[in-house]
Chain A
Amino acid sequence: MSTTIVNLPDQKTATLPKKNYINAEDGIISWLTTGDHKRIAMLYLISITFFFFVGGIFAGLIRLELLTPQPDLVASDTYNKLFSMHGIVMVFLFLVPSVPATIGNFLIPIMIGAKDLAFPKINLLSWYLYMFGAAFIVAAMIMGGVDTGWTFTTPLSTHYVNTHVVTAGLGIFIIGFSSIFTGLNFIVTIHRMRAPGMTWFRMPLFVWSNYAASILMVLGTPVLAITLVLVVLERTIHIGVFDPTLGGDPLLFQHLFWFYSHPAVYIMILPGMGVISEVMSTFSRKRVFGYTAVAFSSVAIALFGFFVWAHHMFIMGVSNYSALVFSLLTMLVAVPSAIKVFNWAFTMQKGSITFETPMLYALAFIGLFTIGGLTGVFLGSLGMDIHLTETYFIVAHFHYVMVGGMLMAFLGGVHFWWPKMVGRMYPESLSKLSAVISFVGFNLTFMPQFILGYLGMPRRYHSYPAEYQVMNVLSTAGATVLGIGFLLPLIYLAWSLKYGAIAGNNPWQATGLEWQIQSPPLTENFVETPIVTQEAYDYEWLAHKTEQEVTTVG
């Protein structure tokens, strides 16, 4: 019995399809003026990968500085700029658009049987807005950087620093619109463009989770945009919204900022959860356990996600009683995540499991997200939060969710759909190795930070007391390993573009509509509009279909 499900066509005779979205038109102009969601997804993929490595370099320098307790590698201002730019680049230029704008953009129309998103030109506009906003942030970096932290805390950002806050703020403001347009496009597409027979409960869970994230993008991002405009106005013409000496309220900024930035956490993680549902099902050869529970838990996270923002402010002098309410709601939002984790685990029960690269990333996600989620409960618990907030504990916690969770899901998703996107496979053993390296490196980097956090080491510290050094050395060592784990995929995926084995339509024998068409797909996705008669993850339907194909050919 074979231990994999990979089913590639005979490499001697196989070729890429003559007509596909990549060779439909030639020239760089055709890419820059395209309305094709798949091409826009690839544009996004290249852009966000670039910014991921930019943010990664900042992270590397931060860890290098923290190798020793003394401030010896860079000056304090430079260090403050490094972590600020690391946060801004990773959150706004990588994590928020990561899965939705690349994998989501590529797959949501195909998964629901549509030719494109509802508004192809707005989709292209999203990418241009993203690049335009990114240009502002790059300009801010080149002119000398920002040192407010990615949180832009007032009155520090409005009165006390003389770095390029306005430029960076405007960049994020513009990128916000890119995010809003993507969300809007997804919502309309999912409501209006589903193929005949594709009911809401036949949609893949990836579509559900992106739908939930889209709602958050559309409703949350405008608040961030307004807040940043207020910061810019306060900085330039001193309007006195946040500054107490002008009659403003500095806590108001915290409320407004976290009203977006907490839901933003779910904008980042929900699409990743969608990837995990697809991957777990495919490599277990089994439908996702408790489909409805998983779908509705996404919606529940989106809904509750809007009512927990003040848990970032428990120590900031909000009333004790409002802290109570927000802590309780935080406990409630933890439950849907727990539901998802158990459903993914039980998806494996009685399956027929193989362990290709995407599955390894998915298993890593489940482990790391469980740690990230449960340590979130520490922080949601009022009295515990007092000691843990603003320390390395919280740094470790959100890296477990964002890197251990979201980035692992993103890499899993890229490896899962890579054969569909480019029509070629990557070297399997090397990619498995890099998944393992990332997992080990990640834990070595961030596990010591939980201990540092409970010891009390504050975040954003350029120098620290000597007794924290051992854990910091371990963390930096882990970051080196992690860096290798992230560089390897870049190299072998680029290699595979030319030299990878031809993937064929459905290398994983997965059930989604995207796997029933050629790889890479046609510009129109489908030759004729599919009529959906089966539920998502119906492996019997797939087996039946494959049999019929064989009989027809034979």
Chain B
Amino acid sequence: MHISPVLWQFLIKWLTNSALFPAEASTIAPWADALYFFLLLITIVGLVLVGTLVFGFAIRYRKERNPVATQIEGSTLLEATWTIIPLALFLIVFVWGALLYFRIYNPPANAMNIYVVGKQWMWKAEHPGGQHEINTLHVPIGQPIQLTMISQDVFHSFSIPDFRIKREVIPGRYSTVWFEATTPGTYHIFCTQYCGTKHSGMIGEVTVLTPEDYKKWTESSTSGMSLAQNGERLFASMGCNACHSGNAAARGPSLAGVYGSKLTLTNGSQVLVNEAYLRDAILNPSQHITAGYAPIMPTYQGQISEEGLIDLVEYIKTLQTNFRVHQTLTTSESNQAAPMTPGVVKP
């Protein structure tokens, strides 16, 4: 057989570039792969067992060798065997899988949070330091990263196969996933939930850096304003501070230190204030009235983008005192008296 050398080179290149097994680039990957190999083992053993039975019987009891069949009713013992053994194996898989699931979906307390907003057809990442990225994500190794994700339109799904993580990105609610990258390099980000025309174009790259490189990257790509600082501007420009001023006579509750606390609502229920609650309370205030306040806040549905909401949430999270709220209020009141004061940022 004679194969043209060009074709031969092409074949070699093609075959050596093809992958058979994904890279293990996060702390979760080895855990997921261990379960995968256990499941593969069960599958192969099961397949070999069924294959041996079927082929063995087919050869041993084919008509030439066994012209007359012996009728057998069944066997309770055998039925019990192949009920209990598979059940036991499946239960092991269940427990193992559940442990892995809780590992992937329960972030450690020291995780650094990055927001991800999905829209047709791109991924936008918002770092706490104010770095914005589209279809890329820069993260350091050795640092747990939590992604808080939301969709602006349809269902998307954020997947990094080499990290073995994936989570649906849902319109109207935050979902989270976390990982800790272990190997510097670039890896695929895929949208895995079908989301319309350019679904297969909604891909990106996660760049994993050493801590030093990451520090360089954050310094070189910051916009100068952190998410919380953006939120503070928005808080003032949308007039939130008029009611949420922290004054005793204010029409809205004080927001200082509200994040992480337990609130009692007018309907008597107790809620934990987290990101999802804050976002919801801005969009649908009438359903989240703090006890003792009147339902007068208007809805901000449609008036503020998901990125703006993230900024506000981040701002409220950092708000420990109302000192700066007061300062901004005073400034804007004096601005109203003399509206043309230069140097004041207008919305």
Q: Which residues of A contact B (CB under 8 A)?
A: 1-5, 71, 76-77, 80, 147, 149, 151, 153, 155-156, 159-161, 244-245, 247, 250-251, 284-287, 289-293, 314-317, 320, 323-324, 327-328, 331-332, 334-335, 338-339, 341-343, 345-346, 348-355, 363, 366-367, 370-371, 374-375, 377-378, 380-387, 389-391, 451, 454-456, 458-471, 539-540
B154 x A353 contact (CB < 8 A): no
A381-B39, A386-B101 are contacts. A315–B166 as well, Cβ < 8 Å? yes
A383 touches which one: B86, B96, B154, B190 (CB < 8 A)?
A: B96
B166 x A250 contact (CB < 8 A): no
B74 x A290 contact (CB < 8 A): yes
Chain B residues 6-36 with CB under 8 Å of chain A are 14-15, 17-22, 31-32, 35-36
B83 x A320 contact (CB < 8 A): no
A384 x B32 contact (CB < 8 A): yes
Residue in chain A with minimal CB distance to B187: A456
Distance in angstroms between the alpha carbons of A46 and B73 in the assembled complex:
39
With both chains docked as a complex, state the minimum distance between the C-beta of B290 and any C-beta of chain A, in angstroms. Answer: 21
* Residues of chain A within 8 A of B67, CB atoms compared: 1, 352
* Residues of chain B within 8 A of A539, CB atoms compared: 69, 71
B57 x A348 contact (CB < 8 A): yes
* Residues of chain B within 8 A of A287, CB atoms compared: 71-73
* Residues of chain B within 8 A of A390, CB atoms compared: 157, 159, 166, 192-193
With both chains docked as a complex, state the minimum distance between the C-beta of B89 and any C-beta of chain A, in angstroms. Answer: 8
With both chains docked as a complex, state the minimum distance between the C-beta of B138 and any C-beta of chain A, in angstroms. Answer: 20
* Residues of chain B within 8 A of A291, CB atoms compared: 73-74
Distance in angstroms between the alpha carbons of A205 and B72 in the assembled complex:
16
Residue in chain A with minimal CB distance to B14: A470
Q: Please give me the 5 A-B residue pairs with the lowest Cβ-Cβ distance, nearest first.
A: A456-B161, A383-B100, A244-B172, A381-B97, A382-B101
Given contacts A161-B196, A346-B75, A386-B100, 6 further A-B contacts (CB under 8 A): A245-B172, A286-B69, A289-B75, A345-B53, A351-B69, A383-B104
Total residue contacts A-B, CB cutoff 8 A: 305
Distance in angstroms between the alpha carbons of A80 and B194 in the assembled complex:
9
With both chains docked as a complex, state the minimum distance between the C-beta of B70 and any C-beta of chain A, in angstroms. Answer: 4
With both chains docked as a complex, state the minimum distance between the C-beta of A429 and any C-beta of chain B, in angstroms. Answer: 18
* Residues of chain A within 8 A of B96, CB atoms compared: 381, 383
With both chains docked as a complex, state the minimum distance between the C-beta of B68 and any C-beta of chain A, in angstroms. Answer: 6
A320-B105, A335-B87, A456-B162 are contacts. A348–B173 as well, Cβ < 8 Å? no
B63 x A250 contact (CB < 8 A): no
Q: Chain B interface secondary structure, helix, strand, loop or mixed?
A: mixed
B61 x A153 contact (CB < 8 A): no
Distance in angstroms between the alpha carbons of A30 and B66 in the assembled complex:
49
Residue in chain B with minimal CB distance to A242: B171
* Residues of chain A within 8 A of B106, CB atoms compared: 320
With both chains docked as a complex, state the minimum distance between the C-beta of A332 and any C-beta of chain B, in angstroms. Answer: 8
* Residues of chain B within 8 A of A377, CB atoms compared: 39, 42-43, 90, 93
B35 touches which one: A341, A383, A456 (CB < 8 A)?
A: A383
Question: What class of interface size applies to chain B in its complex with A?
Answer: 35 or more
Residue in chain A with minimal CB distance to B171: A244
Count chain B CB atoms within 10 A of each CB in A285, A371, A467 and give the residue with the most.
A285
With both chains docked as a complex, state the minimum distance between the C-beta of A241 and any C-beta of chain B, in angstroms. Answer: 13
A156-B195, A160-B120 are contacts. A374–B42 as well, Cβ < 8 Å? yes
* Residues of chain A within 8 A of B69, CB atoms compared: 284-286, 350-352, 539
* Residues of chain B within 8 A of A1, CB atoms compared: 63-64, 67
With both chains docked as a complex, state the minimum distance between the C-beta of B171 and any C-beta of chain A, in angstroms. Answer: 5
A286-B71, A383-B100 are contacts. A353–B63 as well, Cβ < 8 Å? yes
A289 x B72 contact (CB < 8 A): yes
A-B contact pairs, 21 of them (CB 8 A): A161-B196, A244-B172, A250-B170, A250-B172, A291-B74, A293-B74, A317-B173, A320-B102, A342-B50, A342-B82, A345-B54, A346-B53, A348-B53, A354-B63, A363-B54, A371-B43, A377-B42, A381-B100, A454-B36, A455-B22, A458-B200
* Residues of chain B within 8 A of A343, CB atoms compared: 74, 79
Count chain B CB atoms within 10 A of each CB in A156, A247, A292, A470 and give the residue with the most.
A156
A451 x B198 contact (CB < 8 A): no
Distance in angstroms between the alpha carbons of A454 and B96 in the assembled complex:
18
* Residues of chain A within 8 A of B43, CB atoms compared: 371, 374-375, 377-378
B82 x A458 contact (CB < 8 A): no
* Residues of chain B within 8 A of A338, CB atoms compared: 82-83, 86
Residue in chain B with minimal CB distance to A352: B69
A387 x B192 contact (CB < 8 A): no
* Residues of chain A within 8 A of B175, CB atoms compared: 317
A286 touches which one: B72, B192, B284 (CB < 8 A)?
A: B72
B193 x A153 contact (CB < 8 A): yes
Residue in chain A with minimal CB distance to B17: A467
Distance in angstroms between the alpha carbons of A247 and B287 in the assembled complex:
11
B97 touches which one: A147, A285, A327 (CB < 8 A)?
A: A327
* Residues of chain B within 8 A of A328, CB atoms compared: 94
Question: Is B103's beta carbon under 8 Å from chain A?
Answer: yes
Question: Is B310's beta carbon under 8 Å from chain A?
Answer: no
* Residues of chain B within 8 A of A363, CB atoms compared: 54, 58
* Residues of chain A within 8 A of B31, CB atoms compared: 383
A287-B72, A289-B74, A381-B39 are contacts. A3–B82 as well, Cβ < 8 Å? no
Question: Is B188's beta carbon under 8 Å from chain A?
Answer: yes
B97 x A461 contact (CB < 8 A): no
With both chains docked as a complex, state the minimum distance between the C-beta of B63 and any C-beta of chain A, in angstroms. Answer: 5
Question: Is B98's beta carbon under 8 Å from chain A?
Answer: yes
A367 x B50 contact (CB < 8 A): yes
A350 touches which one: B17, B42, B66, B104 (CB < 8 A)?
A: B66
* Residues of chain A within 8 A of B32, CB atoms compared: 383-384, 386-387
B46 touches which one: A149, A370, A467 (CB < 8 A)?
A: A370
Distance in angstroms between the alpha carbons of A72 and B96 in the assembled complex:
43
The 0/1 profile, CB within 8 Å of A marked 1, for residues 111-146 of chain B is: 000000000100000000000000000000000000
Residue in chain A with minimal CB distance to B54: A345
B190 x A327 contact (CB < 8 A): no
Question: Is B211's beta carbon under 8 Å from chain A?
Answer: no
Residue in chain B with minimal CB distance to A341: B50
Distance in angstroms between the alpha carbons of A77 and B201 in the assembled complex:
12
